[in-house]
Amino acid sequence: MSADLQSDDWRTRLADAQVPGGFLAAFVIAARAAELEPFRRLRQAGLPTQDLDRASVSHARFLELLHEAERDARRPDFVLMVVREFTLATMGPVGVLASVQSTVGAALSVLCHYSADGRRRMRAALERDGAEASLRYYLRGESPARAPRSAELAVGLAYRALQSLAGPDWRARRVTLTCTAPDDAAPYEALFGEVSFAQPFDAIAFDAADLDRPLPSADPELARAAAAYLAKVAPVAQVRFADEVREIIAALLPHGACSADEVAARLGVDRRTVHRRLAEAGVTFSDLLQAVRQEAARAGMAKGDPAATLARALGLSGPSAFSRWFRQTYGAPPSRYHGPG
């Protein structure tokens, strides 16, 4: 078996994200409602218990805090309890910058810009298609155990941000989540309205007209000051172009629509620009496509996924196409694969 299938996940190069202290403040409120002792839990986790709005905590540690609270409170909806306490203020300076933009669309662009920080594990994209707009998220190397909660947090924060921007009565057209359906979907429906599970993307779809809504809190002077402040204290790391292309390929592959033209459209450039910039980085589109397929094959086979599932994950037509690809890539049938180690 080729060592390529066992290679390190390229996404593990990304450092762990930090979430603002507003997340901890929301946790305290939710934990009290669940009859837990929030400050004792924060102390046990080695997290701040004072001046929470000025604190920060790693994304991974915050997810662990939520997991333990959910388990001890026996509340599968505990993450949603925390989400309900989110506002733009929860996001700290980024929320301030978003709140003083001229329109809802401009505010969402700010949120997407900072979610695309190369140090973060989830990237947001704002898309508009006719009368519908959507905020779409996809993970960057999140562990399977944490991925559902990470997605719920990201989508929940964006949903509450939209309600802060467009008004408390604002509702999405629908919310889609990649996690499997819970035993009780009522808490999700109460928060999001129409929601569906086991979907290809974590996303919020809403009326495109909402993007043009003016914000009463718009303040160009404060926006400039907030942007300058964030540029100093939280500069957005530049994501390498090849990594960004690779990330989009990973998002598109399960749907089969993964051509250079499709990737170029997502990046807002033409196909020739994609090929040129990849060539400058010493890699081709085919190289990245193959590497992402190898990564997906390694992950799926380690889980014991059947051939049909593996074929879908790799953007192939079916089990026989997967077997051909595997043999051509590794010179052996899939049955020779025995998992990582």
Q: Which of 183, 215, 232 is the last residue of a domain?
A: 232
Domain boundary residue among 202, 232, 262?
232
When pLDDT is averaged across residues 179-187 and rounded to a whole number, the result is 92
Higher pLDDT, 74 or 119: 74
Q: Assess if residue 323 is contained within a domain.
A: yes
Q: Are residues 95 and 214 in the same domain?
A: yes
**Helices then strands, each counted (H, E), the chain:** 15, 7
Q: Which residue has the higher pLDDT, 341 or 87?
A: 87
Lowest mean pLDDT among 138-142, 224-228, 295-299: 138-142
Regarding whether 213 and 123 lie in a shared domain, the answer is: yes
Please report which confidence band the pLDDT of residue 244 belongs to, taking 50, 70 and 90 as the band edges. confident
Phi and psi dihedrals of 179, rounded to 5? -70, 160
Q: What are phi and psi of 334, to 5 degrees?
A: -55, -25
Mean residue pLDDT of the chain comes to: 83
pLDDT of residue 123 exceeding 80: no
**Cβ 301 vs Cβ 325: under 8 Å:** no
Q: How confident is residue 138, by pLDDT bands cut at 50, 70 and 90?
A: low
What digits encode the pLDDT tens for the residues 73-88? 999 999 999 999 999 8
222 found inside a domain: yes
In which band, very low, low, confident or very high, does the pLDDT at 114 lie, cut at 50, 70 and 90?
A: confident
Claim to verify: residue 249 and residue 227 sit in the same structural domain: no
Determine the Cα–Cα distance for residues 301 and 296; give it in Å rounded to an integer: 8
Q: Are residues 227 and 295 in the same domain?
A: no
Q: What whole-number distance in Å separates Cα of residue 156 and Cα of residue 152?
A: 6
Let me know whether 76 and 136 are in one domain: yes
pLDDT of residue 300: 85
Q: How many independent structural domains does the chain possess?
A: 2
191/319 same-domain check: no
* CA–CA distance, 10 with 118 (Å, rounded to integer): 13
pLDDT mean over 92-98: 91
